[in-house]
Structure 1
């Protein structure tokens, strides 16, 4: 559960100055108050109405809002919502996570289906990557959304990494760089702002910063700056910081809070002058160690231009806002620093607050074409008909807009005579689960799919037990391939088009066959 702002964090509105109540504190000059609000990006609840507290924030100069699945019902509703928000303030930036490959929130609003970045890197056709990015950006523009927190610029280095994986274009800096350039250029052509993340890289960690502070222990010469240099060279207007400690750069502070990383390295050495936005402050890497309110103050002081507070409860955003205002009053956050940040946000809003007319829709076929080209058939000799499919995968990450899709449902679309079970998370009784699968699959082809089994040993156990009883089983890996996936059919992702492409390889197409009950 997301923690609320601590009551005693530095600069928090909850700190009390003897003899002075919050209402008695002197008001900041209007221009400075507006500048401070420009530095905030807020999440909120609701699909058609705008909460009163958010209306007040917008009128005072709020820099942006971030939409999530909770704000999305259908395309018409999203257009109505973005129009309402923009009518409150025409230079409000409206943003969303929209990476593709299942990382997004617009499925019910008709989002184009594209594979994750790793599959695009495997295909290694920048024109195809550009077509996928164009499809996503055109859809955003049609909905009135001007900022896409994508693409991922991280390199996938370590098999133990739990957060980057197939979200990355790969582990080769040159491959990642050319696909970043293609993505950024295509998004820009649609009048939508892209945002390369997570600076200076999350791929060398073994920890997910959503849940705890992550550390990348490598030497400075080994860090993954090349993709970010390429993104900056391609004109990316935004970067997002990582809640990761890099001892070689700053022994104590995560990048989001580090003046050296955001200042001397990013602004100085790399020469980035676009908007630097923090990853969400309620992520435990910041919330547990500092508190969201102190995190907001420290990030802005370190060199961030905007901080994201993505939780729907606006009380957290208001506490972070008040911490920033309090820091401006007591001088712990400089007026010049906030003015500089706000000026960058204004320049960004001038270009992207109102997306250009999108023109023709992007290609509906690019995503599936890319997913099909990425599939590796492994040792599969031929497709099977009427299979029983067991799809093993971890419980979906909160960042995923998971709608219940699985390889089972994808195979059934190709072969209505197929059947199976989707297992999202470790079963309570592994042996019982294996026995049930073997019983249901008796006399039929068996397909066993795993996803990132290196991270989730229960999947390897279940697969091994099934293959021991059914050595004829067809093996599929839907995540980042690992050592145990030799010979398996590989999709390099679990996006809907990834699953569809694998299903077309594994299942024998049949029509006129009633699905199994």
Structure 2
């Protein structure tokens, strides 16, 4: 049966699509004219500031009230600075500093960058309380493990970001911080009673609501006590009951990417996932990064069919479209003047990251070391963004280690000679190979460890010092190099 044009347009008004490349393909523009809510920008869409501003202007020319979204969290998750690393420290570093004025200032700077780029919806901040040390997807994206600390910084982040006119989207409801699995690749389960969620995970969302966040993103996680067998994204008890009625949130409920396996595999595809999410109370459906016209049309057809056959009440889809339109109406209409693309990191990002550095032990006499960076695979949320000390080193040699044919500890010691060794890594405690390497080097040589991931209790025996940055952004890398006396 051909899709009803009115239902198709209504369905499109609930969808946030995407496309590949630095310019919008014709189909992406035509769909905006047909009613599509908007597009999300990813790293592949970003080359340099003037190009991004041209791209967003092109999207707005197709329809003025287009939503243009991005994941610009600062810290380890950046799209605008995906080629160099973010000039700002991320949430874990800001939480470690615990200065809400600084958090507000950093997020206002991120918002100013987005206004300059022509982006009006930031899929940030991450407001999850990271209570699982080995959480593979949240980690340094979180302000911390204490609900009260996270809540006060969430309020500051939302206030700072939205002071620029960019809409904030607090994520991931009802809290992704206690998971030890990644919802990009499966459906994590949190075995906790609702009473635990109320004291551990929900306070930051309450703070975001009080601060006036314009959107909240759902999590593809299962909490049996709340969601039953479904992910929160498909749970009416979670979205309509807990978030709308109990938490009093009146803005737009946005889904995490429906292409993620925690959603798509559970529902039997992205189209059915969209129907389940709308029925539960979601308003704006992120399809993901791998999107083309065929996918968008198939999802719109699935929503229209569900509306016709009664699986999805027409009033629910109309309500979702109205909330999405209200979100777009509240956002800046156009890009600001194009400048550097980011604020001067020497004035804000680097000093902020410096305040988050923690040093245990002595950095005395770490002169002309060999820097050994232990490479690691990024999370899907982070992507392949440069990290480490290399851009900031004053001629110091760096050796990258992380493959099957990597040098042995003995060969690294020979290469170092009489120089001390600085080992740099992320989540080093999770890797038996990394722990063994550090132990072997420190047994006979002066070694300093720089941890740029989520802090852990692991402290290797025999090291001269242990330095924690609380993140791996470009700003964090500079702060570490500066603390070691190696910065340019």
The two structures have a TM-score, normalised by structure 2, of: 0.93
Secondary structure of residue in 2 paired with 1:190: coil
CA shift, 1:359, in A, is 11
Written as runs of structure 1 = structure 2, the 5 A alignment for 1:54-203 is: 54-107=28-81, 113-203=87-177
Return closer, same or farther for 1:112/1:138 CA change in 2, 3 Å cut-off.
farther
Taking the aligned partners of 2:475 and 2:89, their CA distance within structure 1 comes to 6
Deviates more, 1:481-490 or 1:278-287: 481-490
Q: Does 1:273 align with 2:250?
A: yes
Question: 1:259 pairs with 232, 236, 242, which one?
Answer: 236
Unaligned runs of 5+ in 1: 1-23, 511-517
Secondary structure of residue in 2 paired with 1:489: strand
Return closer, same or farther for 1:421/1:184 CA change in 2, 3 Å cut-off.
same
- Look up the match of 1:346: 325
Secondary structure of residue in 1 paired with 2:92: helix
- Look up the match of 1:300: 278
Question: 2:10 pairs with 35, 38, 48, which one?
Answer: 35
Question: 1:448 pairs with 387, 411, 423, which one?
Answer: 423
**Contact 2:118–2:336 at 8 Å: present in 1 too?**
no
- Look up the match of 1:385: 367
Q: Give me the CA root mean square deviation.
A: 2.1
- Look up the match of 1:328: 307
- Look up the match of 2:296: 317
CA shift, 1:508, in A, is 4.6
- Look up the match of 1:457: 432
Deviates more, 1:349-358 or 1:432-441: 349-358
**Contact 1:427–1:433 at 8 Å: present in 2 too?**
no
**Contact 1:390–1:408 at 8 Å: present in 2 too?**
no
Written as runs of structure 1 = structure 2, the 5 A alignment for 1:341-490 is: 341-352=320-331, 354-355=333-334, 357=336, 364=345, 365-382=347-364, 384-400=366-382, 402-410=384-392, 412=393, 415-416=394-395, 418-423=396-401, 426-429=402-405, 432-470=407-445, 472-485=446-459, 488-490=466-468
CA shift, 1:509, in A, is 5.6
CA shift, 1:109, in A, is 8.8
Taking the aligned partners of 1:62 and 1:207, their CA distance within structure 2 comes to 32
**Contact 1:37–1:63 at 8 Å: present in 2 too?**
yes
- Look up the match of 1:283: 260
The two structures have a TM-score, normalised by structure 1, of: 0.88
Taking the aligned partners of 1:301 and 1:152, their CA distance within structure 2 comes to 25
CA shift, 1:380, in A, is 2.2
- Look up the match of 1:3: none
Unaligned runs of 5+ in 2: none
**Contact 2:478–2:487 at 8 Å: present in 1 too?**
no
Taking the aligned partners of 1:452 and 1:108, their CA distance within structure 2 comes to 21
Return closer, same or farther for 1:119/1:196 CA change in 2, 3 Å cut-off.
same
- Look up the match of 2:186: 212
Taking the aligned partners of 2:413 and 2:469, their CA distance within structure 1 comes to 25
For these two proteins, the number of residue pairs brought into alignment is 476
Q: Please list the CA deviations of residues 11-39 of structure 1 after superposition, one character each: whole Å capped at 9, or x if unmatched.
A: xxxxxxxxxxxxx43625x2x43321111
Q: Please list the CA deviations of residues 217-251 of structure 1 after superposition, one character each: whole Å capped at 9, or x if unmatched.
A: 11111111110001001000000000000011122
Return closer, same or farther for 1:445/1:484 CA change in 2, 3 Å cut-off.
same
Deviates more, 1:454-463 or 1:84-93: 454-463
Secondary structure of residue in 2 paired with 1:389: strand
**Contact 1:74–1:108 at 8 Å: present in 2 too?**
no
